[in-house]
Amino acid sequence: MAAVVFIAGWDLLGAQGLKPERQLTSSTLFDLVKLSFGVVAGAGALVALVVAYRRQRVDEDGAHREATRLHTERFSQAVEQLGSDSPAVRLGGVHALAGLANDAPTRDLRQTCIDVLCAYLRLPYTAEADLPSGDTDARHMYLALREIRHTVIRLIRDHLRLPPEHPHSWQGHDLDFTGVVFDGGDFSGATFSGGTVRFSYAAFSGGRVSFDGAEFSGGTVDFGGVVFSDSIVDFEGAAFSGGTVRFTSAVFSGGLVSFGTEFSGGTVAFDYAQFLGGTVTFDDATFWNGTVNFNHAAFLGSTVSFNHATFLDGTVNFDHANGSAPSRLVPSGGRLPTGLSLPQVWYPPTP
């Protein structure tokens, strides 16, 4: 090793323009020794740096494995709580999962916690209207389970209210409410941005569900096949911008659904929707710079109003909309874009 260093040092000295000498003087030998020690010290430092880097990587990998192991243990405990017969224990499991999502070491593990919370809402659920008459115990259990479900909705909403840069924000994650029975709940002020949000075939039956001031931007939000019956669903002040929002084949069969909403950019589709009863309002809604489709929609008994709605720089399509019992279109104060033709199935209300 010393010989190699010596030769390397000698060559380096030659490369620096030192004249070769037949005899090594004490001065040259001293310079060569200093250079040799410098080369050895530099090589040692490089080796130490590599070793330190590898040790750091090993420590980081070990810490990550330990964090994942602890997360898995806590996750298993929380899921076990959700399966308890005690509503109080289930409620504890809900809060444990929400906290675990916040502490998750990776985005995928956070998504898993969110998936389980959404899956809990998708479990079979007996609505109040279907409870056995006079069964006090059944009603008490219903109220306890409803409290748990509304807590899940509230926790999801609270995390969707946080700005995306917040470490506990759930914006951009997927949310799957497919087939969920909503008999109340508050999503007001939530921001559904990026990711995929599914309310497909959900049932809004009874109670009040608020999307007041919610923002739907980017990504895909799917309300396809949703049934609105005997409930109040409020989209007042909500904003749909960019991305795609689908109410395709939705059924409005009762209650009140209000869309005092801003539709801007992207596409909102009510294609093949069925307005069979109740009231659907687009009062004070703004449609601009985007596309809203009511193609093949069926208006068979609902009251549909567009009071003071504004249509600007966008496209609203009613192609092949039809109905045998005309719904009422009330465009008082509304401003319709040039060339927009409304289907003949709609008529102003009788004075």
Return the sign of the alpha-carbon dihedral for residues 338, 339, 340, 345. positive
Query: What pLDDT, on a 0 to 100 scale, did the predictor assign at position 127?
Result: 79
Q: How many Cβ atoms from other residues are within 10 Å of residue 140's Cβ? A: 11
From CA 194, how far away is CA 247, in angstroms rounded?
A: 18
From CA 337, how far away is CA 141, in angstroms rounded?
A: 53
What is the average per-residue pLDDT within 268-293?
A: 90
Helix (H) or strand (E) holding 281: strand 274-281
From CA 196, how far away is CA 220, in angstroms rounded?
A: 5
Whole-number average pLDDT of the chain: 81
Per-residue pLDDT for 50 more than 50?
yes
At 170-214, the pLDDT tens digits run: 999 999 999 999 999 999 999 998 889 999 999 998 889 999 999
Range of weakest confidence among 61-65, 87-91, 147-151: 61-65
- Record the tokens describing residue 95, joined without a space: 């809060």
Q: How many Cβ atoms from other residues are within 10 Å of residue 180's Cβ? A: 25
Return the sign of the alpha-carbon dihedral for residues 140, 143, 147, 149. positive
At 163-179, the pLDDT tens digits run: 999 999 999 999 999 99
110-132: burial string, b at 16+ Cβ within 10 Å, e else: bbbbbebbbebbeeebebeeeee
Range of weakest confidence among 31-40, 201-210, 290-299: 31-40
The answer, as to whether pTM is greater than 0.95, is no
From CA 22, how far away is CA 36, in angstroms rounded?
A: 20
At 149, is the secondary structure helix, strand, or coil?
helix
Share of the chain above pLDDT 90, in %: 44
Per-residue pLDDT for 36 more than 60?
yes
pLDDT band at 159 (very low <50, low <70, confident <90, very high): very high
From CA 204, how far away is CA 178, in angstroms rounded?
A: 12
Whether residue 192 contacts residue 216, with contact meaning beta carbons closer than 8 Å, is answered with yes
From CA 59, how far away is CA 53, in angstroms rounded?
A: 10
Half-sphere exposure of 245 (CA within 13 A, CB side): 23
Query: What pLDDT, on a 0 to 100 scale, did the predictor assign at position 112?
Result: 94
Per-residue pLDDT for 156 more than 90?
yes
